[in-house]
Chains A and B, each alone.
Chain A
Amino acid sequence: MKNNKDNWDTIIDTKRSLFDISFFFNLYKYRDLIYMFVKRDFVTFYKQTILGPLWYIVQPLVNTLVFTVIFGNLAKLPTDGLPPFIFYMAGNVIWAYFAACLNLTSNIFVANAGLFGKVHFPRLTVPIANVIISLLQFAIQFIIFTLFLMYFIYSGSDITLSFNVLYLPLILFYVAFASLGFGMLISAITAKYRDLTFAMSFLIQLWMYVTPIVYPLSLVPDNYRIFVALNPMTSAVEIFKYIFLGESSITSNDIIIGLLVTILVFIFGFFAFNRVEKNFMDTV
């Protein structure tokens, strides 16, 4: 019986196995496809008009300015003793990467319906390529951030850079991982409930305000602290601020909670994604 089964390379049936080890093997086999997707998006980006890349520069600057004026100057929210402009910009830059990845991933089925209906490949290659290509946006905004950071350091602000900045890739990996997890989960839901697609930009906006971007974590009262820590982006934003600006009240407890939530969401999102992937084409 076992031999008999081994003779077949592929078996297509109705079983919806939640976890299939061959999935990761497949994903590895298709690594060149991920590379090609990234290359494709890079070429498209490159061939865009000047306005596209310019938008990446304008967006964090405008956001930061608005935050500085409203939350810094008018609301007078504290910024852990840091210059408000660079404080808001740090939060903005790392958040923009998360928001971009989340947006792309959560819309994956609807945006790629035409392609998914004609050829089979591990669908996860698309969001993975997305988080990689979104690094381009991050890189541009990060350079702007670095320029301002340099300016503030030279103009005598109390900021000292340390070797902690080398943790940046780790943070990016964490953010990408979290956005994939949430994105997969949301994509599975939007595949069924189309009305959620319209709510996405609003939800992301809302999410930003519960993340310590316009206010420091130290402002959060202790009895609310646990809710803020449950948000995986709290630790990402705070660690980012810590390694570049040297100020944050994040604790290892907060980080562990955030990490656990991220891992759980990723596993859950992965299963949901796999389940929807199989028969999604019937519902488009």
Chain B
Amino acid sequence: MRKVIEVNNLTKEYKLGTIGRGTLYRDLQSLWARIRNKEDPNSIIGKSDISSFDKKSFLALKSINLDIFEGEIIGIIGANGAGKSTILKILSKITGPTEGIIKIKGRIASLLEVGTGFHTELTGRENIYLNATMNGLSIKEINKKVDDIIDFAGLEQFIDTPVKRYSSGMFVRLGFAVAAFLEPDILIVDEVLAVGDANFQKKALNKIESVSKNKKRTVLFVSHNMDAVEKLCTSVIILDKGRVIDKGPTKNMIEKYLNEKNDIRKKFKKITWEKSELNPGGNIVRLNSIETKNSNNIIIEDFLCNEEVIIETNFTVLKKGFQISCLLEFYCNDKLIFQTFDDYINGEWGKQKNYDLGDYKSTCIIPKNIFKIGIIDINIIIFIPPGSYHDSYQVSYPTKSIGAISFNIKDIETFDKSSGSYPFNLNKDAIINPKVDHKIKKI
């Protein structure tokens, strides 16, 4: 395979605080003081040395070395501030490196933001030309592609309307469509697919994929959306605090990244809140605590795979006369694996007894031999029936799927588990691993 990008010892330093002295007045003041051999009025006290002024700095990238080959779709993942966007900015020549050298083969186009430079007064068509010429295409080249672009964006009807009349979705579609048809040798994409509807996201991902596969284009893709990274990328680079932690096959890297991330952010065993208005919830129901217990009623975080998992949720009802139903969502690697419903489902939705004021406990027992080995996260949702999904929920904790509380499912040595004596790993795509009645008999 041909190497298309070679990054050597790339370092990027940002100065913190004010840059230089910021104003001509102060610079002249310092200069004047030095001419008269007086102390610089702008220097830090005790340090007459000018250069000490600029010492506060921050390394966004620290000695990065990377080789990227033709046809690769590289996902770059990492927490905020890991340096993902900085790498892309340097590669797209928006800012220069502090140290190091980057060598590139072929034409680069970057999509750091959808619809950069779009002018609201111009029509969609005019903006296609403006945006594409900004990326180095000539008008002649665009003439050949403009119909495909309009078609891909699905904007035939509105293409001669000023983009100020566009919905945000149309805006995004147009912006992405232009970038998709730039046909560079290397395409750089920064978290732009977070916008747009699911359908278009899918279309965009497919487009990136097909461009790379059919035409041997290289793609660098930054995203927090692990599903998109997993679907699209052939390999993944993990960045953390300006360093490359690892590079390798997508699946392994995503798992590694999520596990590392989890260790920091996840809460185990039990979380409690002081009884106050800050507890998760609304004006009717508020959470007090969540805990995970084994069948001996002991609060633990590590469960064996052949153990029951009991999740207890304590909440307070603050207003009389409402019905309550509690739902749990179980996540593994940020993917929803299943949901459970409380005994409210035994009756009819919206027609059950009202709750009195006071504290309540919901207990959910997950039978043994259900989960795969790994970390499971739980979200808690409490509904106030009747009403539709959206207007009846009162508690949704946490609001994003990192898990309100988590527990760990561990493997055991004996055969008393779902996979029994199977010596090999189960397919990684399986999300649960229940033990069911499954026998083979001679008939």
A residues with a Cβ closer than 8 A to B are 7-14, 29-30, 32-33, 35-37, 39-40, 43-44, 47, 115-121, 189, 192-196, 278-279, 281-283
B residues with a Cβ closer than 8 A to A are 6, 14-15, 19-20, 22-25, 27, 89-108, 110, 112-113, 116-117, 119, 121-122, 126, 129-130, 133-139
Contact B103 A119 (CB under 8 A): no
Known: A9-B107, A36-B133, A119-B94. A192 touches B20 (CB 8 A): yes
CA distance A12 to B89 in the complex (A): 12
Residues of B near A279 (CB, < 8 A) are 95-96
Contact B110 A36 (CB under 8 A): no
A40's closest neighbor in chain B, by CB? B119
Question: In the complex, what's the smallest C-beta–C-beta distance from A41 to chain B, in angstroms?
Answer: 9
Residues of B near A115 (CB, < 8 A) are 116-117
A189's closest neighbor in chain B, by CB? B24
Contact B112 A36 (CB under 8 A): no
Known: A12-B90, A43-B121, A118-B113. A282 touches B105 (CB 8 A): no
Contact B122 A119 (CB under 8 A): no
Give 16 CB contacts A-B under 8 Å.
A8-B103, A10-B103, A11-B103, A12-B101, A14-B99, A30-B133, A36-B134, A47-B121, A119-B110, A119-B117, A120-B94, A120-B110, A193-B22, A195-B24, A278-B96, A282-B14
Contact A12 B97 (CB under 8 A): yes
B130's closest neighbor in chain A, by CB? A36
Question: In the complex, what's the smallest C-beta–C-beta distance from B218 to chain A, in angstroms?
Answer: 13
Contact A43 B126 (CB under 8 A): yes
Residues of A near B100 (CB, < 8 A) are 13-14
Contact A36 B94 (CB under 8 A): no
Contact B102 A39 (CB under 8 A): no
Contact A44 B119 (CB under 8 A): yes
CA distance A198 to B14 in the complex (A): 27
A193's closest neighbor in chain B, by CB? B24
Residue in B14, B23, B106, B130 whose CB lies within 8 Å of A194: B23
Contact B134 A33 (CB under 8 A): yes
Residue in B89, B103, B130 whose CB lies within 8 Å of A40: B130
Residues of A near B91 (CB, < 8 A) are 12
Residues of A near B24 (CB, < 8 A) are 189, 193, 195-196
Question: In the complex, what's the smallest C-beta–C-beta distance from B57 to chain A, in angstroms?
Answer: 11
Contact B94 A13 (CB under 8 A): no
Residues of A near B130 (CB, < 8 A) are 36-37, 39-40
Question: In the complex, what's the smallest C-beta–C-beta distance from B177 to chain A, in angstroms?
Answer: 16
Residue in A8, A44, A196 whose CB lies within 8 Å of B105: A8
Question: In the complex, what's the smallest C-beta–C-beta distance from B264 to chain A, in angstroms?
Answer: 29
B24's closest neighbor in chain A, by CB? A193
Contact B133 A193 (CB under 8 A): no
Q: Can you name 17 extra interface pairs (CB under 8 A) apart from A32-B139, A279-B96? A: A8-B6, A10-B103, A13-B102, A14-B97, A33-B134, A36-B133, A43-B119, A115-B117, A119-B94, A119-B116, A121-B134, A192-B19, A193-B22, A193-B23, A278-B95, A279-B95, A282-B14
Residues of A near B102 (CB, < 8 A) are 10-13
CA distance A30 to B112 in the complex (A): 20
Residues of B near A30 (CB, < 8 A) are 133, 136
Question: In the complex, what's the smallest C-beta–C-beta distance from B236 to chain A, in angstroms?
Answer: 23
B112's closest neighbor in chain A, by CB? A118
Question: In the complex, what's the smallest C-beta–C-beta distance from B420 to chain A, in angstroms?
Answer: 56
Cβ-closest 9 pairs across A and B: A193-B24, A33-B133, A120-B93, A118-B116, A10-B104, A8-B103, A12-B102, A195-B23, A13-B101
Contact B20 A36 (CB under 8 A): no
CA distance A6 to B19 in the complex (A): 37
CA distance A148 to B77 in the complex (A): 67
CA distance A35 to B166 in the complex (A): 25
Residues of B near A14 (CB, < 8 A) are 96-101
CA distance A116 to B139 in the complex (A): 21
Known: A10-B104, A120-B110. A281 touches B94 (CB 8 A): yes
B13's closest neighbor in chain A, by CB? A282
CA distance A36 to B89 in the complex (A): 24
CA distance A73 to B112 in the complex (A): 60
Which of B93, B96, B99, B113 has the largest number of chain A CB atoms within 10 A? B96
Residues of A near B27 (CB, < 8 A) are 193
Known: A30-B133, A120-B94. A10 touches B108 (CB 8 A): yes
A283's closest neighbor in chain B, by CB? B19
Residue in B95, B99, B129, B134 whose CB lies within 8 Å of A282: B95
CA distance A117 to B134 in the complex (A): 13
Known: A120-B92, A120-B93, A195-B24. A11 touches B104 (CB 8 A): yes
